[in-house]
């Protein structure tokens, strides 16, 4: 064995991989949530609060 194993580096690499995996999972959850919000019909409260885009003479 030319060099001893660097345990701190291994631990850091595992922590980075864990954080990256958690971030990817959160991004997938956010995308699915946004898709569900986009697909659902507007309720009466949302319709009333939506601004009117039509011009009135």
Residue 56 main-chain phi, psi, to 5 deg: -105, 135
**30-33 long-range contacts, CB within 8 A, separation 24+:** none
Residues in the chain: 57
Q: With 70 as the cut, is the pLDDT of residue 3 above it? A: yes
For residue range 14-46, what is the model confidence (pLDDT) as tens digits?
A: 999 999 999 999 999 999 999 999 998 877 666
Give the helix/strand (H/E) hosting 25: helix 7-39
pLDDT at 22: 99
Residue 23 main-chain phi, psi, to 5 deg: -65, -45
């Amino acid at each position: 064995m030319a060099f001893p194993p660097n345990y701190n580096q291994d631990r850091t690499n595992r922590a980075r991989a864990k954080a990256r995996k958690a971030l990817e999972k959160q991004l997938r959850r956010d995308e699915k949530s946004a898709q569900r919000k986009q697909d659902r019909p507007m309720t009466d409260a949302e319709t009333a609060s939506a601004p009117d885009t039509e011009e009135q003479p």
